[in-house]
A and B are shown apart, each in its own frame.
Chain A
Amino acid sequence: MTAAALSALLSHWLRNPVQAFTLVAGLALATALWSGVQAVNLEARASYDAAAATLGEGQFDQLVAASGETLPQASFIALRRAGWLVSPVLEGRLRAGEARIRIVGIDPLTAPMVLSAQARGATGDLAPFLSGTIGLATPDTVARLGDTVQLRLIADAGIAPGTLLTDIGAAQRLLGQTERISRLILAPEQPIDRLPLKDVAADLLLKPMQQATDMGRLTDSFHLNLTAFGLLSFTVGIFIVHGAIGLAFEQRRSMVRTLRALGLPLRRLVLLMAVEVLVFALVAGGLGVMLGYGVAAALLPDVAATLEGLYGAQVNGSLQLRPVWWLSGLGMALVGAGLAAGGALWRIARMSLLASAQPRAWAMQARQARPVKATIATMLLTAAAGLVVWGKGLILAFVLLACLLLGAALALPLILDTVLAGAVRRARGVLAGWFWADTRQQLPGLSLALMALLLAMAANVGVSTMVSSFRLTFVAFLDQRLASELYVTARNAQDSAALQDFLVPRAKAVLPLLSIETQISGLPTALYGARIGPTYTQNWRFLASDTDVWSRVAQGEAVILNEQLARRSGLWLGARVQIAPGVDLPVAGVVGDYGNPIGQAIIAESLFRRLHPEVITLRFGLRSDDPDALRSALIEDYGLPASQIINQSDIKALSLRVFERTFTVTGALNVLTLAVAGFAILMSLLTLAALRVPQLAPAWALGLTRRDLGRLEILRAVLLALLTALLALPLGLALAWVLLAIVNVQAFGWRLPMYLFPIDYIRLFLLALMAAGLAALWPAWRLARIPPAALLKVFANER
């Protein structure tokens, strides 16, 4: 009996291969997009872990020179001989063709175990590393380095991306930093009775581990964004699957009745159908994970660029297969199939044995469910409105997005139905009347695909509005901030003084760029000392400021904060901020700062020098009417290497390039979701086509040609897409507003002004109409070619 039941169940799929394909493809696509995004997230997290393991970032306390410069190796020896268990690290960058590679030199004999373990490599043998003749790097980095360095390079995927790990002696040689080190790592366990730090090395600062940048935490918001995108795609995919499963189960109602009448127990039948769904889920999930690998491999370079641009985080550019990711992909496929099939199985289980199989019950039911859907949609949209007012935190911001999108998606069929009902009333002529009524009749079958289109388009409008708004703001910000025509870097303390003497008579203004990393309100912050003059007073635009902000700052009576810091610490105008022990100043202004994940506080140069006399100015901004002449004077008369001078325009170009790369990944994801929506429409139309023959046969019999029917089919698809697109625009703008005013503030600490881009929206419109038209093309073509006999058969079978 079981075998017979199985073969009966399976025969349905053999007779409806398109439905089977829709089911598998929908689930595979959903799984692919979700697991692709997860693979990218996992790879990025693995890269942060590798970076932490290579560099000891965030794991150990560190000692650095108070001046921010390198420190002499002698300080390391002095500390060791005073009982401090410290290990030296030298870091620097080396140009290898186009790329700049980070060189990290460590001493594995004194380094904490997690760091020295990398130096031991696969053999566990430290001797080759200690000899200073080998370097370890990821396979990509090895390839990029080529023969730039005189080391035997060994590929090791566990090393931080873009980094060459080598012995500190070799690093000193490569970087030309003989007997210099960048910082000292403190072992977690120190011996008793060591001398106090100030007696051994008074010019060193202890940096507790929390203060060191923690890439994982910093980039959490970005990965949450990606996950949200992945979930959105998954949802769109599950819409498709739900449609296909619902249809298949409804079509098999009569088969279910027959099987039960033949004596198959209901429980076993439900079990068999559940197993059937499970098999579909496993096959589709497996396919999806494989596809997801492709998606991830294609996305990863863009994501890596984004993360580097936004946070300076290095991510490995090549993908590794991780079991956890495989399993989570399959798990999502199972959950998705369960979600999509649960309702249908439940209905089968409750169906009374004698209930007649209603052929269109599936579509009719949609109408019955209307009040429920309307209630849920209203609740979701109300919740979204409530979250706008009262929601706090990034997770709630994403919940708000989910409520908004799902609420709107559920409301879509209701709105379309109302619009179409109006059209039916106003239609003139028989053909128009039939067309509108038929379109309305088809709505339940198409609504899931249209919801998918709505979501994809809204996401597209929302995200592109956010990115373009961000871009406009960012360009304006660069223009204000990069006012100096030239930026120069001195080689060392003596050079700094000589350079200033040389520059003062030649430049219109010499602006020292003084900064130190510190903590304000417990947040990592760069404290800047500004030489306040027209460059600052005329160019900077405040988001909020008191009237005489610059003069108060110049007198050392106030401080300016960047927006991130002001929002995260909740300090706005007038609040007092402690900028150093015993020194607190009121906030006089808040400025936008879009290039920077951490906080920034700006005080007067004089106050900065009083608080941090040890900081030497190495970088200067120069104002000049003739920057080219000043540049050549610096190179030829002063002898500053050209690499120490940067033009304003170069920095702007670089910043914009970073920006563009940063958002390529959102562009790619947008295209993918739109493609999924187009696929959803195609599949819905294909599955409907067979069902609709009985409805089309009378229209054909009354004189419409098959070609006419096909044309009307395309027209209908485009029309529905147009209506959906019109609704997607306001939804997309609402989404953009949430992203700009809520998600960005939570994720980055920036609230960006929103700009509108009508031309982009029109282009998207046309694209969506074209996608719908293309999706309808094949079903329409099939309709135009349907054998008249098939249409005639409808009447023959009529009871």
Chain B
Amino acid sequence: MNVRLLVCLILFPVWAMAQGFAGLGSDAEGFAQTQPLPQFVFPKDHGPHPAYRIEWWYLTANLTGPDGTQYGLQWTLFRSALAPGDGEGWSTPQIWFGHAAVTTAQDHHVAERFARGGIGQAGVRVDPFEAWIDDWQMAGPDLDDLTLRASGAEFAYDMRLQAKGPLVFHGEGGYSIKSDAGQASYYYSQPFYTISGTLSLPQGDVAVSGHAWLDREWSSQPLADDQSGWDWFSLSFQTGEKLMGFRLRQANGNPFTSGTWIAPDGQTTNLPDGSFVATPLETNRVAGRNLPTRWRVTVPELRVDVTVTALNPRAWMAVSLPYWEGPVNARGSHVGQGYLEMTGYE
């Protein structure tokens, strides 16, 4: 999924105000709008869509060290436009920012970067594929074969990824609805990466391997103004099946939920509002907030009923607009690993 739109919105508060009215203001500003039944063209659509307001290349990975220690890794590049279209040099309205993190059961290392498009400091090219900001880079001949690098003041990583399955389209063929009011985004994933490489941590270098999940999403329509935040799950089970689900917490009434059940061969089942259910079981005091770090996730019609527990409840992303993002373990009807993201908790 995910509805990580809010991250961008709060970075530029004037926007957030302009969009308080259920996205009504957005059309007037000239951004392109998402339409049902999208026709994606690859590799072009792996690249940026400057006519849309926001976009991301969002990679999370569950990794294991030689001694069985679990690690989590995040690499994200956001594009956020102050106005539609591109421009020359510094005058471009396209702003880029990156978040990188490495999580262990004890530690959570975070770094953040900002850049302006148009000057070469950050961007995405499709053939060959390269997404970069500063020295952080996700690049390869195509999206199925990538190297991944990032570094911060206390960590760095250098990884190799290979896709072992097809792209997966969420919602209606990649058109993912976010609310009853009709807000939507284009959303597809590559959840079938194998990943291996080296993590550089304060304790030393570790060789790791595991699986990774890439999300691609872009839109101009933010959340409905009564949606305060979201909880997003991506789970990979030992059976080879995968589950993506999110719930948008709404001021009035039940959360709006959506999800995708992914078979080992990449066949998808769309989970409409209400069929994906996530219930907090236990909260932790993190960064001055009460955050649910243990959940019960069920999809009754597929007989999924698992308990999802954070590897490190303190996986707090202390960036300009902070949120929680970290690796999780699932136990119950299915067993597996994945990632959890939680935003909008005050």
**CB within 8 Å for A189 and B134 given contacts A127-B12, A127-B82:** no
Answer whether residue A82 sits at the interface, using C-beta atoms and an 8 A cutoff.
Answer: yes
- Judge whether A77 and B119 touch: CB under 8 Å: yes
CB contact between A83 and one of B15, B89, B120, B151 (< 8 Å): that residue: B151
Chain A's nearest CB lies how many Å from the CB of B121? 5
A172 — which chain B residues lie within 8 A by C-beta? 90
Report yes or no: B134 in contact with A81, Cβ–Cβ below 8 A: yes
A residues less than 8 Å from B14 (CB atoms) = 123, 125, 127
Q: Is A49 an interface residue (CB 8 A)?
A: no
Please tell me if the beta carbons of A109 and B200 are within 8 angstroms of each other in the complex: no
Q: How far is the CA of A194 from the CA of B135 in the complex (A)?
A: 9
* Chain A residues near B89 (CB-CB < 8 A): 169, 179
CB-nearest residue of chain A to B201: A192
B120-140 near A? 1/0 per residue, CB < 8 Å: 110000000000101100000
- Contact A77:B120 (CB < 8 A) given known A110-B114, A191-B111: yes
Chain A binder among B64-72, B153-161, B223-231: B153-161
- In the bound complex, do residue B95 and residue A132 qualify as a contact, i.e. CB atoms below 8 Å apart? no
State whether A110 and B115 are in contact (beta carbons under 8 Å apart), knowing that A127-B82, A169-B91, A194-B135 are contacts in the complex.
Answer: yes
How many Å lie between the Cα of A783 and that of B90 in the bound state? 80
Taken together as a complex, chains A and B put the C-alpha atoms of A131 and B87 apart, in Å, by: 11
Q: Which residue of B lies closest to A193 (CB)?
A: B156
A97 at the interface (CB under 8 A from B): no
* A124, B115: Cβ atoms closer than 8 Å: no
Is B85 engaged at the interface, CB distance under 8 Å to the other chain? Answer: no
The 0/1 profile, CB within 8 Å of A marked 1, for residues 135-167 of chain B is 100000000000000011111100000000000
Contact between chains at B82 and A83 (CB < 8 Å): no
Which residues of chain A are within 8 angstroms of B204 by Cβ–Cβ distance?
A: none
Given contacts A190-B153, A191-B111, A191-B153, contact A130 B116 (CB under 8 A): yes
Taking CB atoms, residues of chain B closer than 8 Å to A73 are 119
Looking at the complex, which one of A81, A82, A132, A179 makes contact with B91 (CB distance below 8 Å)?
A: A132
Instruction: Please name the residue on chain A nearest to B134 by beta carbon.
Output: A80
Q: Are B135 and A81 in contact (CB under 8 A)?
A: yes
Q: Nearest Cβ distance between residue A114 and chain B, in whole angstroms?
A: 15
Q: Is A605 an interface residue (CB 8 A)?
A: no
A131 to B95, CA, bound (A): 11
- Judge if A61 is at the interface, Cβ distance under 8 Å: no
Would you call A713 an interface residue if the criterion is a C-beta within 8 Å of the partner chain's C-beta atoms? no
For B152, give the chain A residue with the smallest CB separation. Answer: A191
In the complex, what distance in Å separates the CA atom of A127 from the CA atom of B155?
31
Contacts of B95 in A (CB 8 A): 109, 130
Does A126 sit within 8 A of B, measured CB to CB?
yes
Q: Decide if B12 touches A194 in the complex (CB within 8 Å).
A: no
Chain B residues with CB below 8 A from A110, complex form: 114-115, 121
Q: Does A409 contact B (CB under 8 A)?
A: no
Q: Is A168 an interface residue (CB 8 A)?
A: yes
Q: Is B13 in contact with chain A by the CB < 8 A criterion?
A: yes
* Contacting pair B116 A109 (CB below 8 A): yes
Instruction: Contact check, A192 vs B116: say whether CB atoms are below 8 A apart.
Output: no
Compute how far the CA of A261 lies from the CA of B144 in the bound complex, rounded to whole angstroms: 106
| Cβ of B270 to closest chain A Cβ, rounded Å | 37
Q: Is A167 an interface residue (CB 8 A)?
A: yes
A107 interface residue per 8 A CB criterion = yes
Question: Is the CB–CB distance between B121 and A124 below 8 Å?
Answer: no
Q: A125-B12, A193-B151 are in contact. Are A167 and B134 (CB under 8 A)?
A: no
Contact with A along B44-69 (1 / 0, CB 8 A): 00000000000000000000000000
Q: A-facing mask of B86-102, CB < 8 A → 1, else 0?
A: 00011101010000000
Say what secondary structure dominates the interface of chain B. mixed
Q: How far is the CA of A9 from the CA of B152 in the complex (A)?
A: 74
Smallest CB separation, A105 vs chain B (Å): 9
B151 contact set on A, CB distance < 8 A: 83, 191-194
Which A residues, 477 to 493, have Cβ-Cβ distances below 8 Å to chain B?
none
Q: How large is the interface on B (under 10, 10 to 19, 20 to 34, 35 or more residues)?
A: 20 to 34
Alpha-carbon distance between A131 and B14 when the two chains are bound, in angstroms: 14
| B91 neighbours in A (Cβ, 8 Å) | 131-132, 169
Q: With A81-B132, A81-B134, A110-B115 in contact, do A125 and B82 touch (Cβ < 8 Å)?
A: no
Residues of chain A lying within 8 A (CB to CB) of residue B12: 125-127
Q: Given A125-B14, A130-B116, is A167 in contact with B90 using a C-beta cutoff of 8 Å?
A: yes
**Residue of A whose beta carbon sits closest to that of B15:** A127
CB distance from A186 to the nearest CB of B (A): 13
Residues of A within 8 A of B111 (CB): 191
Hey, which chain B residues are within 8 Å of A80, CB to CB? Answer: 115, 121, 134-135
Distance (whole angstroms) from the CB of B317 to the closest CB of chain A: 17
CB distance from B281 to the nearest CB of A (A): 37
Chain A 264-276 interface mask (CB, 8 Å, partner B; 1/0): 0000000000000
Q: Which residue of A lies closest to B82 (CB)?
A: A127
With A81-B134, A127-B12, A131-B82 as known contacts, state yes or no: A168 contacts B90, CB within 8 Å: yes
Cβ 8 A contact of A109, one of B93, B114, B156: B114
Q: Report Cα–Cα, A81/B132, bound state, in Å.
A: 9
Q: B-facing mask of A189-204, CB < 8 A → 1, else 0?
A: 1111110000000000
Q: How far is the CB of A110 from chain B (nearest CB, A)?
A: 6
| Cα–Cα, bound, A169→B91 (Å) | 7
User: What residues on A are CB-neighbors of B116 within 8 Å?
Assistant: 107, 109, 130
Is there contact, CB below 8 Å, between B13 and A125? Answer: yes
Closest Cβ neighbor of A171 among chain B residues: B90
Contact A130 B114 (CB under 8 A): no
State whether B82 touches A109 (Cβ < 8 A).
Answer: no
Most buried by B among A172, A191, A192: A191
Shortest beta-carbon distance from A589 to chain B in Å: 49
B75 to chain A, nearest CB (A): 14
Write the A239-253 contact mask toward B (1 if CB under 8 angstroms, else 0): 000000000000000
Residue in chain B with minimal CB distance to A86: B134
Interchain nearest-CB distance for B118 vs A (Å): 9
Q: In B1-42, which residues have CB < 8 Å from any A CB?
A: 12-15
From B82, B120, B135, residue with most partner A Cβ within 10 Å: B135
Q: Please, which residues of chain A bring their CB within 8 A of the CB of B135? A: 80-83, 191, 194
Q: How far does the alpha carbon of A194 sit from the alpha carbon of B114 in the complex, in Å?
A: 17
Contact with B along A41-85 (1 / 0, CB 8 A): 000000000000000000000000000000001001100111101
Could you say which residues of chain B place their CB within 8 Å of the CB of A193?
Answer: 151, 156, 200
Q: Bound complex: CA of A308 vs CA of B148, how far in Å?
A: 52
Complex Cα–Cα for A189 and B111 (A)? 11
Nearest A residue (CB) for B133: A80
Asked if A191 and B115 make an inter-chain contact with CB atoms under 8 angstroms apart, the answer reads no
Contacts of A169 in B (CB 8 A): 89-91
Please indicate the chain B residues that have their CB under 8 angstroms from the CB of A109 in the complex: 95, 114-116
Q: 1/0 per residue A78-110: CB within 8 Å of B?
A: 001111010000000000000000000001011
Closest to A170 in B: B90
- Chain B nearest CB from A112 CB (Å) reads 12
Cβ of A132 to closest chain B Cβ, rounded Å: 6
Which chain B residue shows the least CB distance to A73? B119
With contacts A107-B116, A167-B90 taken as known, whether A130 is within 8 angstroms of B152 at the C-beta atoms is: no
Encode B184-205 as 1/0 by CB contact (under 8 A) with A: 0000000000000000100000
Contact with B along A106-146 (1 / 0, CB 8 A): 01011000000000000111110011100000000000000
Could you tell me which A residues sit within 8 Å of B by CB distance? 73, 76-77, 80-83, 85, 107, 109-110, 123-127, 130-132, 167-170, 172, 179, 189-194
Q: State the 8 A-B residue pairs at the shortest beta-carbon distance, nearest first.
A: A169-B90, A83-B135, A109-B114, A191-B151, A80-B134, A125-B14, A189-B153, A77-B120
Can you name 22 A-B residue pairings with CB atoms under 8 Å? A77-B119, A80-B121, A81-B134, A83-B151, A107-B90, A109-B114, A109-B116, A110-B121, A123-B13, A125-B12, A127-B14, A130-B93, A131-B91, A131-B93, A169-B90, A170-B90, A179-B89, A189-B153, A191-B153, A192-B153, A192-B155, A194-B151
Given contact pairs A109-B115, A127-B82, enumerate 8 new A-B contacts (beta carbons under 8 Å). Answer: A107-B90, A125-B12, A125-B13, A126-B12, A169-B90, A170-B90, A190-B153, A192-B153
List chain B positions with a Cβ less than 8 A from chain A.
12-15, 82, 89-91, 93, 95, 111, 114-116, 119-121, 132, 134-135, 151-156, 200
